[in-house]
Structure 1
Amino acid sequence: MAMPVSDPQFLNDQRKALRRTLRQRRRALTKAQQRQAGEALCRRLRGLPEVQRARRVALYLPNDGEIDATPLLAWLRRRGARAYLPVLRPLAKNRLWFVHYHAATPMTRNRFGIREPDTRHGAHRARQLPPWALDLALLPLVGFDDLGNRLGMGGGFYDRSFAFTRRRGPRPRLIGVAHDCQHVERLPFAGWDVPLDAIVSDRRMVRPRHR
C-alpha cells in the first residue's frame, strides 16, 4: 500500500486536480460507451464470490458520468437478494443510511440533486439499514490505481459511514466501481480513506494487498 502524503495541503491540491481530470474523462464517454461499460462491469461483479453470497447489497444510481451498476438489480432480485440505495442522514452530518430499493420506490432529490428514496414515507423508514447491517456495498469512485488506492468525490460520506470497518468484527464487503478510463498509475493516498476489498472496472479487477 502507498504511504500517505505528509503535506495535507499538497495532498488536497493533488486530489482536487485529479478529480477534475478524471470526472472529465468519464463525462466524455458516449451513451453507448456508458451502457457497454455498465454491462461489462456487472458481468465481472456477478462472477465474484462476495457478490454471489450477498443478500443485502448497497449500490447507487449513477450521476455525473459514474459507471452504471444498476443492470445488476434484476440479477440480485432473481437470487432473492435485496438492493439498497444510500440516503443522506439529516441528523448525522455527512453520513449515509441505506434504504431498500425496488421499481415502485418513491424517490426524491437530496441537496446535491441526486435521486434517493424518499424517507418521508413511513414504510421506507422501517426499511432503513445502518451500514454495518449490509453484506456488500458498491462504492462509486472518481479514480483508482493498481495498489487499490481510491479517489472519491471528496465529501467523505462513504469514509465516515464505513469507518467502523477498520475495526475487528462483522462488516460488509466494500467494492469500488469505476470506468477503466478512471484508472491511474498511482494515486496520492490519504490516511482517512476506508480500505476496499476490491476495485472493479469494465476491464479489470484490483485486489488490494491490505485486505
Structure 2
Amino acid sequence: MSDLSRQEFRKLIREKRNALCSDTQFQAGLDLITQFSQLPEIQRAQHIALYLSADGELDTKPLIEWLWQQGKSIYLPVIHPFSKGQLLFLQYLHDDQLVYNKYGILEPKLDIRHLKPIHELDLICTPLVGFDSLGHRLGMGGGYYDRTLSHWFNTGLGAKPIGIAHDCQRVDLLPTAHWDVPLPKIVTPSQIWQWESTK
C-alpha cells in the first residue's frame, strides 16, 4: 500500500469509510465522546472549532451536542468569500441557519458578528481522509486546514489541532508533501493517537 499515490489513498480510504453501516456510524459518534472526555485539552478549552461531517466522515453531531452540554462554545469553518483557500470560523448555535458551500458541505451563513479569529480559538478539530503512524494527515486536497494550521506548526502558538477519524482511516505510511501539517493528536472511536513531539 505504501506505493499508492495520495489520490489513490484518498479514493481507497473514502470508500472504506463510506462502506460503514449506519449502526457503526452511530456507535462511532458515541465512542468519540468517550475518547474526547478523556482529553485534558477539552477540559481546559472554551472555544473549540469543529466541523459538520460529510462523505462518510465520523459523525461529529453527538460530540458537538455533548460539548454544548459542557458549556463550550463551538465554531464551524466557513470558506472565505474573498481569500482563496482560506477558512473563517463562525460560532455555531443550536438554531443557526446552515447553507451548503461549493463542496456540498453545510456551514453557517456568513455573519461577521459571529466570527472568531483563529488566534482566539483554543482547539481546532480537523477532518481528514487518512492518517498514518507518524501523525501525517491526508486531507481532501484543497489545503484549507494546512493553511489554517501553518502558524501553529511554525510557531507552536495558537489553537492546537486535533484530528478526528474512523479507525479504518489509519494506514501505515502516507506519502507526504512539504506543505502538509502533521497533527500532534488524532482521536478515533477506539483510541487517542498522540505525537506530542510534533509541536
Q: What's 2:146 paired with? A: 159
Gap runs ≥5 in structure 1: 1-9
- Residue 149 of structure 1: CA displacement? 1.1
Letter matched to residue 49 of structure 1: P
The one-letter code matched in structure 2 to 1:202 is P
The 5-angstrom pairing of residues 20-169 of structure 1 reads 20-119=11-110, 124-168=111-155
CA distance in structure 1 between the aligned counterparts of 2:97 and 2:80, rounded to whole angstroms: 17
- The answer as to whether partners of 1:42 and 1:69 remain within 8 angstroms in 2 is no
- The DSSP-based 3-state class of the residue aligned with 1:162 is helix
Stretches of structure 2 that go unaligned for 5 or more consecutive residues are none
What's the CA shift string for 1:124-147, capped at 9, x where partnerless? 321111222210011111111111
Which of residues 186, 194, 199 in structure 2 aligns to 1:207? Answer: 194
Alignment partners' CA distance in 1, 2:156 and 2:124: 17
CA deviations on 1:32-90 (whole Å, 9 max, x unpaired) are 11111111112101110011111000111110000112212232223221001100001
Q: Which amino acid aligns with 1:131?
A: I
Change (3 A) 1:82 1:26: same
Q: Normalising by structure 2, report the TM-score.
A: 0.93
User: Which amino acid is the alignment partner of residue 106 of structure 2?
Assistant: R
- Relative to structure 2, which stretch is displaced further, 163-172 or 132-141? 163-172
CA distance in structure 2 between the partners assigned to 1:187 and 1:42 by the alignment: 27
Q: How much identity, in percent, do the aligned residues show?
A: 43
CA contact (8 A) 2:137 2:181 kept: no
- Structure 1 SS opposite 2:75: strand
Residue 38 of structure 1 aligns with an amino acid whose one-letter code is: G
CA distance in 2, matches of 1:205, 1:190: 24
Moved over 6 A (4+): none
Give secondary structure in 1 for the equivalent of 2:155.
coil
Residue 192 of structure 1: aligned partner: 179
Aligned length: 196
Structure number with greater Rg is 1
Deviation at residue 169 of structure 1 after TM alignment: 5.8
Counterpart CA distance in 2 for 1:162 and 1:155 is 13
Contact preservation (8 Å) 1:61, 1:70: yes
- Using structure 1 for the length normalisation, give the TM-score: 0.88
**Is the deviation greater in 14-23 or in 77-86?**
77-86
